Each structure stands twice: as structure tokens, then as C-alpha cells.
Structure 1
Amino acid sequence: MALDPEEGKQEEIIPLTSMKDGEVAEPLPSASLPPPVSAAPKPKPKITTAVIVPIWMAFSVSVILYNNHLYHTLDFKFPVFLVTWHLTFAAIGTRVLQRTTNLLDGTKDISMNKDIFLKSILPIALLFSGSLILSNSAYLYLSVSYIQMLKAFNAVAVLLISWASRIAEPNRKLGLIVCMISFGVALTSGGELKFNALGFVIQAFAVVFEASRLVMIEILLHGMKMDPLVSLHYFAPVCALVNLIILPFTEGLAPFYQLARIGPLILFSNAFVAFFLNVAAVFLVGVGSGLILTLAGVLKDILLITASVALFGALVSPLQVFGYSIALAGLVMFKTIGK
């Protein structure tokens, strides 16, 4: 308990014999306690766009190339297990960050209850789980470069589902952009030298699941402010549980028999890179404008395609380069002037 400095102060007694006639005794200076010092809140770290964009791109590229390395170079072809492991790591990691940092302060503004969980979080988590499993499974059949080209169609799928859900109104300008992106993606598929029908179908369903998830977020979580890390905090545990239920019917115990061969270093480093991609995304969204985010995504995809050719020997035809250029131009238009 703090004491008042004026309490308990003894009155100073000055001997009368030491004073001259008519002299007024001046009070002795009293020693007062210094004012209490309040601890100033620690300022949040400020990261410039020039710093966070390369960091985010490095993590994003690393996650995809690392997963592809696991599937093909290390022959660990278990995407359901890998996604489940990533989500379990993320569920634990977000809770550690919630208790040790201010990165998940956004959870304080969300009043989570059973009704919101069952009607909003659960259906979105199911779509998220399906999207992750399908998109990772596609890497077993298609090259990294071709998958990145197909992902340009994500924006078209989101727009078409938004129109069907009546949360957006069709217009001629957006229709032309949709046609432009679709035409570019069609050319990239026509120029694919190692086309795999099963892989194409899996990636197509992954696009549908991901687009449906984004539209469902817009409908069910409208008004809730969730950055990538807060979203992961709520969705990761549910998705991990769903995947654990699916795992016995898809890959069974086979991935567990391979863990000793892969080793804990690879497993933990792979999950670490995937998790901190979401951390980097929080800072990226906080400092980047819509145009910067779009251009960063485009540059990241180009780097991935280049790395796929250089590291894994993926073949890219001139027709694919031409078609993807058209799709990217349409994507930039959609993100910047198409709204």
C-alpha cells in the first residue's frame, strides 16, 4: 500500500533561544517522496512495407516448396497428415502467442458462444479443412508452377459464388475481367506439358472449397474483425479435429510409420514455417495497401514458378507464359479497379 508523503511527517521544533527578536522561523525543507512512476505501455513493433513484404514472400514460397520437397524428394506422400500436423501446431502456437504477446488481442473483441461456433465457425472450418487437404493433395499430381497458374482462377470462383449468393451484383466490367482471367487460365492448361486429369480435378475442387470459404466468411462473420492469426486461433483446432477423423479413412497409420525416417527436425521446421507465414500475414495486412498486397501476391507466384522450374525441373511452355500473363493482368485489374 502506498503511503501519502504528507502523512506521518513530524512537526519541526525550532528552539526559541536560537531565534532573534522579530525573526520569523522559516520552515525547513521537507523531503518529499518522488511521484509514482507509471509503467508506460510497450509500443507495438513497427515494421515497414519494404521489410515485411520480402519476409512474407519468403515464408509463402518456403511453405509450398518445403511441402513439395516432402512429397516428392523425401517421398512422404501424406497430405492429410501434414495438414493435420500444421493445424495442430498452429492451434498450440496461437494460444502461446495469445498469452505472451499482443498479436492476438483481437480475440478480446470477439464474443464467442455456442451459437456462433455452430452456425459460423464450424461450417467455415469444414470448408477450410477441405480446401487445405485438396490443395495439398494436388501437389502429388501437378507441378508447383501449374498449380500457381490455376490459382489465378480463385478470384473468378469467389466472384461467381458471390453473384450466386446475391452478396454482389454482376456488372459488365467484372464480367469482362472474369472472361479475361478464365481465358488466360484456359491457355495455361492447354499449354501444360504434363497434364494430369486427376490432379486438375482435385485442384478445381480445392478452388471451389476455398472460394466458398471466403464467401461464407463474408456472410457469416460479417462485422467481425479477424486478422489471419485470430482466424487461425479459432479455426485451427476445429480443422485439426476434423482431419483427425478423416485421417484413418484416407491415409491410415502409414504416415506414422514414416515419422522415424523423416525425423522431428523436418517435421517441426516445416510446421514452424507454415505457422509463421500466418504471423507475417498479420503484419503484411497491417502495413500494406490493396495494390501492394496484390502486387506482392503476383510477384510471389512468379517467384514460385521460377523456383519450380529451377529446383524441381518443372516444364513451362511458351503458351503457358502467355496465358498466365493474361490471367495475371486480369487478376490485377480485378483487385484494383474491378470493385
Structure 2
Amino acid sequence: MSKEHTSLAMSGDEKHDPISGHAGFRPTSAGGNGAQGFAAPSHSLPSGGLPGGAAAKPDKKMHPAVIIALWISLSSSVIVYNKYVLDTKAGLNFPYPVFLTTFHMAFATVGTRLLARYSTLLDGLAHVEMTRERWYRNILPIGALFSASLVTSNMAYLTLSVSFIQMLKAFTPVAVLLISFAFGLKQLSGMLCVIVGSISFGVAIASYGEIEFAMDGFIYQVFAVAFESSRLVMIQVLLQGLKMDPLVSLYYFAPVCAAINTALLIFTEGLAPLLDISRLGPFVLITNAGVAFCLNIAAVFLIGAASSLTLTLAGVVKDIMLIFASIFFLGSSITRLQVFGYAIALGGLVAFKTHKG
């Protein structure tokens, strides 16, 4: 799982907003606020991108700042590590994004089942009544969109820099808003139009200023944003009221994604990644998938760690850190025009996340 997708369906007393990617964040018994598994902006959430709720209780002995720092570190590490594995220029030259995503989901499938058997982290499964009809009507279509968003996002890493991809992801809330308008889930307002315009303008400037622009990667990322935005809206429509934290969500969605990706793998990359896997080695594969899986565990503890505004700002900090990491560790280049455009987009995003209309 590569990308920072993640928006989670809320449990009982939380009303999930598919636009801003977080709920009303009422204090929980653990002394915090509930969120989608993590309440950072949906555009900046990592590879786990899963519906979630407030079933888990964070460790009271762990300071919220530590939990937030851990989530930022893991979220950034997942993206940089995936880019490093896939990159044909400055990385390990393993250009098989479908296989990598498939392996991540297979790893998560096994990992969640082991946690369910040997830990209390998946006790939230007891609160979910999963019927065959609900699985086919709700889990399967959302899982398919989740799979598509992960694959296309990873494919974008083959030709685009991490910094530019992060800038393009800033458009995700706008795409979610447009889809929500179409489904009648959100009402248009003058302030929203101004905010949407500022985000769109900022992303357009950042794209215009990209010096390593690649049309195929740009198209893949556009599809990734479209799939992710559709998934967020479907979560709002289909999973409203289900008590699912990030790990419970991963428990249900990982097998669906693994199966879909395996079928896709046969027709896209075939046996090529298996023939080349010895060069990559098991250590890289396992640690790469392990970091992504640990991100979802961290998301459970992030629930209730801080207010939605704090976590929104944490997501912005994470995005900025990713851009710097891309520059220093992966050799990416950004222009002053991109910095200017992205600053406008980030300002719009913060306004978007805190908008009450």
C-alpha cells in the first residue's frame, strides 16, 4: 500500500464528512477525539486509506505528540520507501507497482488475521455484523475502488516525483466535493467555491511549474485521485454507522484488494516481477510491506490523540516533510513557482478542513 489514502467511516456518535475526511471529533472515553482512523486530511493519508471508527482505545501513557510524530514518520516512510523501490532512476529499479500493491495487501490480509487471533487490536470485529449481502453490496465495490486507487497511485511513482505527486494530491478534497455535489451529499456555498478555486489555482500553478512533468504519470495520478475520491464518497454512502477502525477496515478490504490485484497482475505484469524478485530480495519486500502495515496500527492509536485541527495541520506538516525528503533523499527538484502554487493550495486545504459550512 503506497499511497496516503485513508478516510474512514465513522462509528455511532460520529458524523463522517467525506469532504473534509474527518468527523465531528467528539471526545472519547480515552480523552481524545474520534477520526477516520486518523483525522488528517484525506489527501495526505497514507497507503492504508481505509474506513474506520472509534473502536480502539489509545494508550493513555503515550503522549499525543508521540503518536502524531509516529504517524507522520510512518506515513512519510511508506511513500518514500515505495518510490525508492519502484524508481528506475534513483531507486531499486523494481518497476512493478501492481505486484508491489498486491504483496502489500496479501501481507495485510495475513497480518490482520494474526492480530485478530493473538492480540486485542481487532476486538472491534465483534461490533461489525458482516453479512454476505453487505459484503457484496458494500465491501466489494469500495474494495475495488481502493485497489484501483492504490495501483494507479503506485504507477504514478514510476515517472513522477514524490513532491509533485503530493502537490497533485492536494486536489483530492476538491474532487470529493464535486462528486458529493453530484450525489446531493453537500450543498454549494460561496465560501466553498472560493476555497475550491484557491486549491485548484494552486495545484494548477504547481503543475505548470513542474520541470520533470510526465504525461503518463500525471494521468495515472489523476485516475488515482478520481478513484480515491469516489471511494471516500462511497464510504459515506455505504458504510454510514458501521463501527470500523482502520485495522477492522483493513481486515475486510485487504483480501478484496489482494484478489483483485492478483487478477490484474496476471494481465499487466505477468511473471516478470516474480522473475525479478530475487534481485530485490525478501528483506526489502517484507520491510516495505511491514512499514505500510505498521502505519495502520499507528492509525488505531492516533484515534483520539488530538483535535481534528491538530491532525489536519499534522497532515500538512507531513506533506511538507515529504517534499523535503523527496528533494534530499530522492533527488527531486522543485521550482519557486511550484512552492508558490503549493503554498496557495495548502492554505486552501487548511481552510477547507476547518470550514463549517
Q: Same fold (TM over 0.5)?
A: yes
- Residue number in structure 1 paired with 2:83: 68
- Residue number in structure 2 paired with 1:16: none
1:178-257 matches, within 5 Å, as 178-257=196-275
Q: Is contact 1:68-1:139 (8 Å) kept? A: yes
Structure 1 residue 288 displacement after superposition: 2.3
Structure 1 residue 115 displacement after superposition: 0.7
Alignment pair present for 1:54 and 2:72: no
Structure 1 residue corresponding to 2:342, chosen from 320, 324, 328: 324
Alignment pair present for 1:131 and 2:149: yes
- Over residues 170-223 of structure 1, what are the superposed CA-to-partner deviations in whole Å (9 max), with x where a residue is unaligned? 111111111010000000001001111111111001000000000000000011
CA distance in 2, matches of 1:84, 1:286: 31
- Residue number in structure 2 paired with 1:36: none
Q: Is contact 2:68-2:305 (8 Å) kept? A: no
After superposing on structure 2, the runs of 4+ consecutive aligned residues of structure 1 that deviate more than 4 Å are none
CA distance in 2, matches of 1:148, 1:217: 23
Q: Is contact 1:53-1:296 (8 Å) kept? A: yes
Structure 1 residue 232 displacement after superposition: 0.6
SS at match of 1:111: coil
SS at match of 1:141: coil
Distance 1:298 1:44, change over 3 A: closer
- Residue number in structure 2 paired with 1:115: 133
The runs of 5 or more residues in structure 2 that have no matched partner are: 1-56
CA distance in 2, matches of 1:52, 1:161: 33
Query: Counterpart amino acid of 2:328?
Result: A
Larger radius of gyration, structure 1 or 2?
1
Q: Is contact 1:174-1:338 (8 Å) kept? A: no
CA distance in 2, matches of 1:317, 1:338: 34
The count of corresponding residues between Structure 1 and Structure 2 is 297
Alignment pair present for 1:263 and 2:281: yes
Q: Is contact 1:177-1:338 (8 Å) kept? A: no
- Residue number in structure 2 paired with 1:299: 317
| TM value normalised by structure 2 | 0.81
Q: Is contact 2:58-2:304 (8 Å) kept? A: no
The runs of 5 or more residues in structure 1 that have no matched partner are: 1-42
Structure 1 residue 112 displacement after superposition: 0.3
Alignment pair present for 1:273 and 2:287: no
CA distance in 2, matches of 1:251, 1:107: 35
- Over residues 32-60 of structure 1, what are the superposed CA-to-partner deviations in whole Å (9 max), with x where a residue is unaligned? xxxxxxxxxxx963232111111111111
- Residue number in structure 2 paired with 1:333: 351
Alignment pair present for 1:288 and 2:302: no
| TM value normalised by structure 1 | 0.86
Structure 1 residue 258 displacement after superposition: 1.2
